[in-house]
Amino acid sequence: MIKIAKIMGNLCLIIVQSFILLAHAEVLPNSKLESPPSIPPGFMPPPLNPNGVELETRELSDGVYALMSNRAFTDNAGFIVGSEAVLVIDSHFNGVMGQQIVDAIKRVTDLPIKYLLNTNAFGDHVFGNYIFPSETVIVAHQSTIDALKASSVSGMSQTMSRTVGGDLSVFDGVQLRVPNLGFDRFWKADLGGRVVEMHWFGPGMSPNDSIVFIPDANIAWTANMIFGRGTIPWARSGDIAGYLQTLQKFEQAFQPKIMVAGHGELATGEILQIYMQYLAEVIASAKLAVASGVSVNEFSDNANINKKYPIANELRMLMTGFHRWNLRLAFSEVSAEHGRY
């Protein structure tokens, strides 16, 4: 009887855990990534619905173009023009947005689109892939390719549903085109007088986040690793200490003068220092909270971002939710290190 009770108890625990995971998957953009112990009060999924979004072409340097969204926190993209070919950074949310990118390129040059880089495995960065010419080589970190091979449009759409206000029509017609060239830590290409590099320094907002760097212009596309001006990081997949170490490796490799975020406004190199300081302080505050014996709810539920971090007004609610999420993760990770979780 004791054995049967133990089995039934384990079964109930598994069922409860499954419901918790399903609830978390509802609000998250990729079911393959982990969720925190619980969703904090005030958390809201990032608003990513592309309907009505227009991409503004901004020339940042000779042949270096950012494609900036006209709506707060929806996706940005970009393209680089050499003397022989074009390289694109991210394909956006669906075929409509992918076609906007192609059209923007055609207004600048008739050169072929030789490469398309996917900076992570989220649908809003890769779902426009299928629009690009069949001869375009799609490049991504190998973990991005592995994640996409294990995914489907329907599955990713369901887990992204709350980021688009439940409007699944934005995924109509999307075909999952998986990148066909993977790299480990570094990849580069010469477009003809213009070299573009792609780096993976380690896990950040997701395990897959890659940085695109144009050395001669000293400009980087930071994907979800660093959002735009007036933001803080979101440790979406956990390992806040690992996220900090990744940013430190980024800083050691180069210090871009301009960063084009996957979401948000253009930022200067100063934002890298802000992100590292913020994450270090989150870890330090979590250690203090755990040592003081407070609960995770007391630590995170009503927390606000320190006023020394300049948050964009239109993103304050979103960033507050990110902050409380980060605190919960840091608390659980510190607790686990000390055997208290």
Q: What amino acid is encoded at 201 in this protein?
A: F
Mean pLDDT within 75-91: 98
Rounded to whole angstroms, the Cα distance separating 271 from 255 reads 10
Structure confidence at residue 33 (pLDDT): 43
Of 223 and 11, the one with more pLDDT: 223
Measure Cα distances from 188 to 87, 143, 220 in Å. Answer: 11, 18, 13
Mean pLDDT within 283-292: 97
pLDDT digits (tens, 9 = 90+) for 183-231: 999 999 999 999 999 999 999 999 999 999 999 999 999 999 999 999 9
pLDDT surpassing 80 at residue 306: yes
Contact between 305 and 311 under an 8 Å Cβ cutoff? The reply is: yes
Mean pLDDT within 259-284: 97
Structure confidence at residue 340 (pLDDT): 56
Structure confidence at residue 95 (pLDDT): 97
38 band by pLDDT with thresholds 50, 70 and 90: confident
- Partner residues linked to 199 by β-bridges: 186, 211
Q: What amino acid is encoded at 190 in this protein?
A: D
Structure confidence at residue 147 (pLDDT): 96
pTM: 0.89
Residues 6 or more apart whose Cβ sits within 8 Å of residue 340: 290
Tokens 């592309």 appear where?
Answer: 50
pLDDT digits (tens, 9 = 90+) for 134-186: 999 999 999 999 999 999 999 999 999 999 999 999 999 999 999 999 999 99
37 band by pLDDT with thresholds 50, 70 and 90: low
Contact between 119 and 90 under an 8 Å Cβ cutoff? The reply is: yes
Strand order of the β-sheet with 211-214 is 186-190, 195-199, 211-214, 219-223, 258-261, 267-268
337 band by pLDDT with thresholds 50, 70 and 90: confident
pLDDT surpassing 90 at residue 261: yes
Contact between 60 and 258 under an 8 Å Cβ cutoff? The reply is: yes
pLDDT surpassing 60 at residue 11: no
Domains of the chain: residue spans and CATH: 55-269 (3.60.15.10)
Q: Which residues of 324-334 are buried (b: 16+ CB within 10 A; e: fewer)?
A: bbbbbbbbbbb
Structure confidence at residue 331 (pLDDT): 96
